Structure 1
């Protein structure tokens, strides 16, 4: 394993007409675990791709260790690949190290110490031994089994293809492969998506134990708190991306203070420039050619005029010089951050039960004896992967059939935010998608910008060019623009920026209508104000594992 640092210098990347990264630099030394945070669309995934070599910068350079691993938000393996094939690839280098050590050991045994090639064999053996020790090659196969178990995959048959797995399971298989490999630099994009509590805790422990470098883009506030030694905020700031030492909790306080300093400096500079402009204008008038003398200036005018005029001229020059300096070096006004401003998430319904389930079964996916959702309910659905949380939401929404008794109030409007955000017309802009979905009249009365989910600069970008998090924001906007009486949210904080997660949580607590959420988000769950439905593990069909 290499012990080199991962270094990026002055990276610039433009996608289409939009400069996503502008002069970003970072150094990640072995032992450092750096979290990338910022609003959706600020370039977290783009930066990871540049660091990994999956994309090239328009300017700047990256120095990376040769053994680097990258977990994409999207699956890096072919759908036809089996779990065994993925693990074999992850174990390939460790097994090659052990095989080469056996070969070199045999060669050293058969070669006399005074032979010319003996020294070279000894050096090669030492290098290979160092590599095997760094990756803990002797324990690699056992580590693979422990990793699969830790990520909740132990029950899956090894001959299962990736295409036959759920989206969450595929992501966990890819993550397991990287943890088994133990590369010198590990780059992770939203690694805790689809992880339950035990799997997230296992991942945190594994990352803290790695001797190499970790750079991770994550919305998971509990994960950032538990893992990171540093955070890099890609949101706009006076000096560009800002690095903060410590956890997410430390960052929150420092970020607020930094924002206040920036706003204070901007305000003070604007006030000083306004005063200087007034001073230049007034004093310039005092020395204007042909200005009539005031009565109190006529006595002794010839004696003092030159001295007074020179003093005033100096004041004009000094003020003008300072004004020019400030205008050249003034800080930009802090951009107004996106703020989630939906009036309500769900609409008012008359009191009573909206949906009632009795003895509901979806074979291999869900078993639920009883559930009533009232008109003002706040229900959090929890449980390990595979217990049927997404299945329950799909049943409540009427998108999935089930046996048993299901009663839904006549005319009930239901909205579902699914885990996977897919738009049929990716060539449409965000604005066009919004208007086509909610209708022209609703789009006019509730403009997309007014919801605080999509920025003005992204309104006319094709949906297919938006980041995963921005597409998630747009999907949420389509629901809350015309709130349903029953809002169903499947992992609503996935891919969203930490700040939006905070604001969304605040909106979930109050207001009309019923809201049902399925979530692994430990930060959200620890602050949930409503009731909770914990689905039992017994409902799981381990061979299916639909979350």
Structure 2
């Protein structure tokens, strides 16, 4: 046993976040932790890592075991260069290396050489530390750092680059690289796939599948969970339940478990009703009173099956497409886009050509930083192209989803934010739509600035739904959404009758929705007909 939790409870302001949580992780296990946004996943990780106290229960960690914890807010020292920060993952080894250098100086000191006892003692210390240094991989620090940085997409980034100059995605990847370099016995990862492109994701999944220690990971990436984990813990209503297998297996097992519990509960309720009826009819009769009393004792001893609590409430989405567009929706011809001003201006994409037809669902993919979001903003007219043509068809109405939700007014309440965008719609209708997005009662008076990422995403989606556009242009629509919300969004967009153009790093989402993949390169775009899975298969075949 590497880690064991017994009855861990934690409250915030009288509201239970964790209630009697018990879990166990064995050495080498790879475990996924899932649950809706706000279920307490990050709280549980912080409790295990010793970053926050818990109210009751016990935690046992194997003697000498180290925990490595990747937080969502990364924890890097911004003033450091990349190399300095990576080397800090090996602080104990580097300290030992300094001690070895000092011992080497002592061994050459004439005063030590002249004293046989001191020389022997120094040699013993040197041999002991040298052996430990070698066993712990002290001579492999630089190759490990280079390999890790290359795998995480920093192969072309100078090692002396200050961390504060990196993008948000680069900082996240660097924090992940540093955590992996520490090679703890228990590796705790909170949303490690955020900001990773497909190449880096594939590298990370391969690395984690062969990682010698145990892994506890919170992730909303279903492909990642299917590829990496061998067990799932689900946090729901402050309690936890264990499932064996990956995410796909968990979905099937949970459905089966719920069905069995519902059946057992119904059967027991029927049994209890019969027993109560028998007792009521016979308890007053002299001839059968004894039998009725025995039946009552049986009823009192009966171990009750818990009533199924049912599924947690989910958002209800429905995207109407309004008046249909003409068949030809969009022509993109030899488009070139750039970023930066004057002397710092650089071309992101050029020779971009593709088309959209009514009813198609097209995904734009490409490595991080290539300009996918900039291209979307150019297509909808927020930015002018540096060359080429963008021609929208007749009767096209566009609904745009911005992954940063920059269009939301942080000072508005939820109700005002949505109602201001659609002042012609009565308040009752606005409130009904917000209710479908899980904003009920007093929730609608919350300020946008106080909302979580997932809540802001739901507000933006509510506005998008009310627009009833016949073309949806979506930039990372699953960011900040939990697994349940992603599944609702998927099924809603599958049923959408309009045209869909979107960017997503969620491979499961891509595979469910896209019927065409447009792969962006610096010097052009390659159009692949078919799903994301078929695109991956073609890419693999080309490599063989």
TM-score, scaled relative to structure 2: 0.80
Deviation at 1:379, TM superposition (A): 0.7
Q: 1:228-282: per-residue Cα shift (whole Å, max 9, x none)?
A: 1221122359xx4222232223222222211212222222233333334433443
Q: 1:13 aligns with which of 1, 10, 15?
A: 10
Q: Secondary structure at the match of 2:335?
A: strand
CA contact (8 A) 1:453 1:474 kept: no
Deviation at 1:433, TM superposition (A): 6.1
Deviation at 1:445, TM superposition (A): 5.8
Deviation at 1:13, TM superposition (A): 2.2
CA contact (8 A) 1:197 1:384 kept: yes
Structure 1 residues 155-234: aligned runs within 5 Å: 155-234=156-235
1:31 paired residue number: 28
Structure 1 residues 357-436: aligned runs within 5 Å: 357-363=332-338, 364=346, 365-404=348-387, 405-408=389-392, 413-420=397-404
1:44 paired residue number: 41
Deviation at 1:91, TM superposition (A): 3.9
- Bigger shift: 269-278 or 23-32? 269-278
Distance 2:141 2:453 in 1: 34
Q: Secondary structure at the match of 1:156?
A: coil
CA contact (8 A) 2:419 2:430 kept: no
The RMSD of aligned alpha carbons is 3.8
Distance 1:50 1:406 in 2: 52
1:154 paired residue number: 155
Deviation at 1:381, TM superposition (A): 0.8
Q: 1:80-112: per-residue Cα shift (whole Å, max 9, x none)?
A: 544334223234343233333444566689689
Structure 1 residues 112-131: aligned runs within 5 Å: 115=117, 122=124, 126=128, 129-130=131-132
1:336 paired residue number: 311
Q: 2:135 aligns with which of 133, 136, 151?
A: 133
Task: Report whether the alignment pairs 1:535 with 2:520.
Answer: yes
CA contact (8 A) 2:399 2:471 kept: yes
1:246 paired residue number: 245
Q: Using a 3 Å threshold, how does the CA distance of structure 1 residues 474 and 213 change in structure 2: closer, same or farther?
A: farther
Q: Using a 3 Å threshold, how does the CA distance of structure 1 residues 59 and 214 change in structure 2: closer, same or farther?
A: same
Task: Report whether the alignment pairs 1:493 with 2:493.
Answer: no
Deviation at 1:533, TM superposition (A): 0.7
Q: 1:208-235: per-residue Cα shift (whole Å, max 9, x none)?
A: 2322221100111221122112211223
Deviation at 1:148, TM superposition (A): 1.5
CA contact (8 A) 2:398 2:472 kept: yes
Q: Secondary structure at the match of 2:517?
A: strand
2:429 paired residue number: 444
Q: Using a 3 Å threshold, how does the CA distance of structure 1 residues 129 and 99 change in structure 2: closer, same or farther?
A: farther
Uncovered stretches (5+) of structure 1, i.e. residues with no partner: 288-307, 541-547
Deviation at 1:144, TM superposition (A): 1.3
Q: Secondary structure at the match of 1:516?
A: strand
Task: Report whether the alignment pairs 1:312 with 2:308.
Answer: no
Q: Secondary structure at the match of 2:399?
A: strand
1:545 paired residue number: none
Deviation at 1:167, TM superposition (A): 2.4
TM-score, scaled relative to structure 1: 0.79
Deviation at 1:118, TM superposition (A): 6.5
Q: Secondary structure at the match of 2:288?
A: helix
Q: Secondary structure at the match of 1:309?
A: coil
2:464 paired residue number: 479
Uncovered stretches (5+) of structure 2, i.e. residues with no partner: 339-345, 526-544
Task: Report whether the alignment pairs 1:512 with 2:497.
Answer: yes
1:260 paired residue number: 259
Distance 1:464 1:454 in 2: 15
CA contact (8 A) 1:342 1:481 kept: no
Q: Using a 3 Å threshold, how does the CA distance of structure 1 residues 216 and 355 change in structure 2: closer, same or farther?
A: same
2:324 paired residue number: 349
Q: Using a 3 Å threshold, how does the CA distance of structure 1 residues 333 and 59 change in structure 2: closer, same or farther?
A: same
Q: Using a 3 Å threshold, how does the CA distance of structure 1 residues 186 and 112 change in structure 2: closer, same or farther?
A: farther
